[in-house]
Amino acid sequence: MQSLKYITIASVRLVIFFSGVILLIGCGELLDKKTEIVTGITSDTVWGRAQSPYFLRGDILIPAQTTLTIEPGVVVMFSGNNKLKIEGTLIANGAASAPIIFRQAGKYYISGYYGLVFANKYSGKKSMISHCLITQARFAIYCDGDSPDISYCIITGNNVGVHLWNSNAVISHNRISDNIEHGVYIGSMQPTVTDNRIIHNGSGIICAYAPNPVIRNNDIYGNRAYDFVLAKTESDIIAINNWWGSTDEMFIRKKIFDKQHDGSLGNVMIIPLSQSCFHPE
C-alpha cells in the first residue's frame, strides 16, 4: 500500500502547517486581517489565499448551479455552531505544501461547527476536496444525496469524520483518525472507500443499509470500540484486502461487529487480508 506512504508524508506537512496557523491565531496576527463571510454565495466565487483566513458567521450556502473554489493555503474558520452547506459545487483542492484548513475560530471550542454539508441531490458538476485538514467539527463531512470526491485529506479531532447517506462518494488516500465517534459511516448506496488509514476513532467504519460498498486497501485498526460495525444489514459485506493490524483472523474478528455478535446481521468478509507490510504509525 505504497500510496499510504505518500499520505503519511503529507500528514507531517499538514501538521506542521497547522501548528503554525494555531500559533499565529494565538498571537492575533491572522484574526486581525480576516475576511468575514456573512451571507451565502450568490455567484461563482473564488476564495483566494491573499484574503485568507475566511471567517464564516452563521450558515453559508453554496446554492445549486453555483461553484465556490478555494485556493491552496486558505484557512476557513467557523464562528460557532454553523456550517458550509453545499447545494451547488465546492472545489477545495489544496496542495501537500499548502493545504486548505477548515477549523473552529479561536483557540478553544466547545461543541464545534457542523462542518461541510453536501446536499446536492441534482446531477451537475462534482464537488472535489483534496489536501485539506478538517478538524474540530461535529461532522467534518456530511453527505446527504451528494457524492463528492474526497482525497489526500487529514480528517481528525472531530466528533464524526465522514458521514455518508444516499451517497456514492469516493473516499481515497485520506487519514481519518482520532475522531470521537466513528471515522466513516456508510448509509445506503455504493460509496467507494479505498487506500485510507482509518485508525484511533471511536469506531472505524459503520456500515448500515448499504449492500455493496467498495471497501478495500485500507488500514482499519486501533479504533477504540470496533474497527468495523455492521448495522441493520442482513446481507454479507465484502471488505477484503484491507489491513486490520494483524494477520490473525480470530484477533481481527474481535474488533468486527457482525453476525458473530448479532444473529440478525450478515457477515463481514475480510479474507484475503492485505499483504502490505508498510503500516507506520
pLDDT higher than threshold 90 for residue 24? no
Question: Whole-model pTM?
Answer: 0.87
240 pLDDT tier (thresholds 50, 70, 90)? very high
Q: pLDDT tens digits, residue range 41-68?
A: 999 999 999 999 999 999 999 999 999 9
Would you state the torsion angle of the CA atoms of residues 151, 196, 5, 221, taken in this order, to the nearest 10 degrees? 160
Residue matched to cell numbers 478555494: 70
Question: So what's the pLDDT on residue 5?
Answer: 42
Question: So what's the pLDDT on residue 68?
Answer: 97
- Range of weakest confidence among 91-100, 101-110, 250-259: 101-110
Q: Which residue has the higher pLDDT, 245 or 276?
A: 245
Handedness of CA 195, 75, 116, 227 (dihedral sign): positive
For the chain, the straight-line distance linking the first and the last C-alpha, in angstroms and rounded, comes to 14
pLDDT higher than threshold 80 for residue 14? no
pLDDT more than 70, % of the chain: 84
Highest mean pLDDT of the ranges 28-32, 85-89, 207-211: 85-89
Question: So what's the pLDDT on residue 29?
Answer: 38
Q: Among residues 120, 125, 171, which one has the least CA distance to residue 7?
A: 171
Question: So what's the pLDDT on residue 276?
Answer: 58
